[in-house]
């Protein structure tokens, strides 16, 4: 599919992440105004509340955009999702009859503050990138036992904290926790010393489900995607994760990009999952291309210094798709809700430069990275800013998500010494 032309001139550049082909959904505010839903087009944002009040958007018998989140639209289902996209295309395409009515409803993106685009109902994080799982398993158990026995059969995951999900630009505070090194006799209470990121994609459930669903049904239920940084306290995790897995090590924060890119916008970039080493059971078998060809990268910037790109990879490296993860999530009868967020798991490629976490990039701290500034890093230092970027590249255009940014602040003074 080629670049679709808009009367919004900035949307026709090959360099914009938000061409007419994209039309991602977010929440914004300007000055002291209340947050409201918006659609990104070039370097502008279409005010959806104003468009609805002006009668330009009229999809249901009640107002969809009186609230500053996209969950109400999600709950309407795929038919209304498609109708909204069709209407937005009609309003913003080159030669649109209603251009004069729409123009006053556009807000310059540079003047806007971006907020959480949705209310997160529940949050589940998976461990579904094979290269990452092999790397981490090799570090801790050796190459012969890198993957646990179940890994090639099911997408492994854990239920995280919806309350910890924050929008890009939110500072992240270094956590305290129980730490115990391999040579320590007992654990100690201290700030995390091995704070890390995980480069992930997040799938957002749009259509609720009450019982088990197929992979094809799960794919239809997904509303859209965001970039996702699963901040991870590796030293806290090493002590606490046996036998039940991550807990406080993953509860500090999970940062998402500010714009929800719809599944429809990503359709031209569908691709297959990697070849299977073990045949999957019927309920999670592939039923068509379910992944997306999305280039991803991570940059790190020390306080007051320029950023260095430390990793480049692609979403197509995942072993399990979001649809397979969602289908498996429902097998027990677990209900899924509009606004549920599914983290893909760390996305790493086969080369060192494509590893999606500092744990892998520094090989557990044994091989520190040297940034372009000359600084060395094994894990995150206070004041570092980590940025996740992603875009699907089309014919003369790209589909972007907006950057997923977080700066790490020093740990608080010991909260239990009063």
Burial 167-184 (b: 16+ CB within 10 A, else e): bbbeebebbbbebeeeee
Helix (H, G, I), strand (E, B) or coil at 295: strand
Distance CA 26, CA 39 (A): 6
Helix, strand, coil abundance in the chain, percent, nearest 5? 25, 30, 45
CA angle 250, 253, 258 (to 5 degrees): 135
What's the farthest any 2 CA atoms get from each other in the chain? 74
Backbone angles phi, psi at 323, to 5 degrees: -65, -40
For residues 298 and 304, the answer to whether their CB atoms sit within 8 Å is: no
As a whole number of angstroms, the distance between CA 137 and CA 146 comes to 4
C-beta of residue 391 within 8 angstroms of C-beta of residue 17: yes
Beta bridge partners of 172: 408
With tokens 């691709």, the residue in question is: 271
Verify whether residue 283 is a known catalytic residue: no
Contacts of 23 (CB under 8 A, 6+ apart): 39, 40, 41, 85, 88, 89, 92, 262, 265
Q: How many beta carbons lie within 10 A of that of residue 164, not counting itself?
A: 17
Question: CA-to-CA distance for 240 and 382, rounded, in angstroms?
Answer: 23
132, 153, 328, 329: the active-site residue = 132
Contact 161, 231 (CB under 8 A): no
Would you call 199 helix, strand, or coil by DSSP? strand
Contact 270, 290 (CB under 8 A): yes
- Listing DSSP states for 351-380 in one string gives SGGG-SSHHHHTTTTTS-EE-TTS-EESSP
Interatomic CA distance for residues 356 and 251, integer angstroms: 19
Residue with tokens 């994760």: 241
Task: Mention every residue, 6+ apart, whose C-beta is less than 8 A from residue 31.
Answer: none
What sign has the CA pseudo-torsion 372, 377, 381, 387?
positive
> Could you list the active site residues?
132
């Amino acid at each position: 599919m080629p670049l679709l032309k808009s009367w919004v001139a900035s949307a026709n550049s090959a360099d914009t992440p938000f061409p007419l082909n994209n039309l991602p959904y977010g929440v914004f505010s300007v000055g002291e105004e209340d947050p409201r839903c918006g659609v990104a087009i070039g370097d502008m944002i279409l005010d959806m509340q104003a468009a609805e009040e002006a009668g330009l958007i009229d999809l249901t018998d009640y107002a969809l955009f009186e609230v500053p989140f996209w969950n109400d639209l999600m709950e309407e289902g795929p038919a209304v999702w498609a109708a909204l996209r069709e209407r937005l295309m009609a309003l913003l395409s080159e030669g649109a009859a209603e251009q004069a009515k729409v123009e006053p409803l556009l807000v310059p993106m540079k003047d806007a503050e971006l907020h959480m685009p949705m209310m997160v109902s529940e949050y589940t994080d998976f461990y579904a990138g094979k290269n990452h799982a092999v790397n981490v398993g090799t570090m801790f158990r050796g190459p012969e036992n890198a993957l646990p026995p179940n890994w090639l059969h099911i997408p492994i995951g854990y239920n995280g904290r919806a309350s910890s999900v924050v929008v890009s630009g939110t500072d992240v505070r270094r956590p305290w926790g129980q730490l115990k090194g391999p040579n320590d006799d007992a654990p100690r209470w201290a700030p995390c010393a091995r704070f890390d990121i995980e480069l992930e994609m997040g799938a957002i459930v749009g259509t609720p489900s009450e019982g088990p669903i197929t992979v094809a049904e799960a794919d239809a239920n997904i509303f859209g995607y965001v970039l996702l940084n699963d901040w991870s306290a590796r030293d806290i995790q090493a002590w606490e994760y046996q036998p039940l897995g991550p807990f406080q090590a993953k509860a500090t924060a999970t940062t998402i990009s500010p714009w929800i890119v719809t599944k429809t916008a990503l359709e031209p970039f569908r691709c297959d999952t990697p070849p299977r080493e073990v045949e999957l059971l019927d309920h999670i078998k592939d039923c068509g291309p379910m992944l997306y060809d999305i280039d991803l990268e991570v940059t790190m910037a020390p306080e007051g210094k320029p950023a260095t790109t430390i990793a480049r990879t692609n979403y197509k490296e995942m072993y399990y798709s979001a649809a397979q993860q969602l289908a498996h999530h429902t097998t027990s009868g677990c209900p899924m809700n509009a606004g549920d967020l599914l983290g893909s798991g760390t996305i790493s490629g086969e080369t060192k430069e494509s590893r999606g976490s500092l744990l892998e990039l520094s090989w557990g701290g044994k091989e520190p990275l040297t940034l372009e500034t000359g600084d060395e890093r094994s894990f995150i230092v206070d004041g570092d800013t980590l940025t996740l970027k992603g875009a699907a590249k089309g014919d003369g255009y790209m589909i972007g998500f907006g950057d997923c940014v977080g700066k790490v602040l020093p740990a608080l003074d010991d909260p239990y010494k009063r």
